[in-house]
Structure 1
């Protein structure tokens, strides 16, 4: 689309590279691991054509954004603060919000910390933090890699070994692997990506004192997700006071924005327009 552009936006500690498209009510799309804003490439033109102003940052350490060295620079409080500073810099008061994978974790936290800035929220793949943390043994088994990623230096070496063989097997998405690797091969970028796990493991697993989620929430989960159970998404309804909807997408893998773009777009557009918001 001719209206798509890239900008560098200061968020205080550094600059985020941001993709912007369209005009209208603002939509903020937040990516996860090992992605950058490109994971939303099928949603950006669809949402812009539907009459939204689309805002898609590369998060710190990802894509073309700044990448601090310290592990603690990737704590959730700082990632949430980046989103708030980004909206301030762009002059945006409130957004329709969507997040996938780590982006969903960050977006859940942003919706809790800044409820006045979120009209509605679509969580892709990852449910409410408490639903995730208290899910059963199957979710713990599916998330084994989060513990492996704590091995500083060793995880990096093994993921890169044999032309990134373990990384390719772990992600299981050959169509996207070459692009991910080309971004992570740059100095410090794989460590930055793993720092999301290293800086936040204890909080993600053990924090319990979350405020209510007061806006309408749409949960999307795919039947082919190898990392997350359906139960952790379904149980998210217990922690949402502003209205909950759930949709299961059959046949897609973990990377919903890439694997089922038409289905995701067909769900996000009416939700962001305020259609069919269900009160609790």
Structure 2
């Protein structure tokens, strides 16, 4: 682990649009992780995991819909993102260390009966953790996400994105989210996505993420993800896909998972309107799909 862990000043997050949530923090083995914990404390948890280059702000319009339905909504900022600490070198990040940070977080909160909601890198982490710890989960909802093993051909859009993240002289998070959404984000919303990164020194985690996706059969994460798929191929609990109609990176992943995961059979899979960041384009339909799934479990 790096000897230099950066912490974004709180002043960066003042007066954020539509983000009224109280901050919570947990040490996860060195860096400090921030998370939203909204709704009744005795409710079954809905764990919302964001991806690249976002943070829990991505779920700001979904959290109240799910918590109002009686669920305890927990939305962490992955290490390197949002209000969480940010190791300062790209080499400080690996798939496994992100798994370790997430596992420490879930285990210290002792979350059980979890409904996982995940997108982008939230899916790479959440699906693998659920596959390795199925006893903690009730159901899974995936929107624009996947668990790659490196055995599949990655789309050209992803290869371009990986090169941009690693080598572009600028990495404007707010503009990236705006480009990956159907609707036009407001200046305040773009500022919120830029807020975690007051300078280039804070962006190592965001730049590292695309290169950590298993893209070849001999990737360091390939074997663990293959094992996770063996577990998912026996997954009988409800598994719902809520992909968008306009994401060039994950298009087709919903059908792939529906065919391979037993718990996906008979579920009301839906296609929502939006780009890669469907939480920006269709947050309420996405949240209602989650609530409806949980209602069928009770």
Is TM more than 0.5 here? yes
Which secondary structure state, in structure 1, belongs to the residue aligned with residue 53 of structure 2?
coil
Among 248, 253, 257, the residue aligned to 1:236 = 257
Identify if the C-alpha distance between structure 1 residues 181 and 204 changes in structure 2 by more than 3 Å, giving closer, same or farther. farther
Partners of 2:148 and 2:268 in 1: CA distance: 16
Q: Does 1:188 align with 2:205?
A: no
- Contact 1:127/1:234, CA 8 A, preserved across alignment: no
Alignment map for 1:106-185 (pairs within 5 Å): 106-130=125-149, 134=152, 140-149=155-164, 151=166, 154-155=167-168, 157-159=169-171, 167=176, 171=180, 174-175=184-185, 176-185=189-198
Identify if the C-alpha distance between structure 1 residues 255 and 169 changes in structure 2 by more than 3 Å, giving closer, same or farther. closer
Which secondary structure state, in structure 2, belongs to the residue aligned with residue 248 of structure 1?
coil
Partners of 1:146 and 1:205 in 2: CA distance: 21
Partners of 1:73 and 1:246 in 2: CA distance: 40
Normalising by structure 1, what TM-score? 0.81
- Contact 2:140/2:239, CA 8 A, preserved across alignment: yes
Higher helix proportion (structure 1 or 2) = 1
Gaps of 5+ in 2: 1-17
Which secondary structure state, in structure 2, belongs to the residue aligned with residue 233 of structure 1?
helix
Could you say what the CA RMSD is over the residues aligned between the two structures, in angstroms?
3.0
Alignment map for 1:183-222 (pairs within 5 Å): 183-202=196-215, 207=222, 209-210=226-227, 211-213=230-232, 214=235, 215-222=237-244
Partners of 2:174 and 2:49 in 1: CA distance: 27
Gaps of 5+ in 1: none
Match of 1:98 in 2: 117
Normalising by structure 2, what TM-score? 0.77
- Contact 2:88/2:202, CA 8 A, preserved across alignment: no
Per-residue CA deviations over 1:7-54 (Å, capped at 9, x if unaligned) read 111111221011111111111110011110010111111111101111
The structural deviation recorded for 1:268 is 0.5
Match of 2:59 in 1: 40
RCO higher in structure (CA 8 A, sep ≥6)? 2
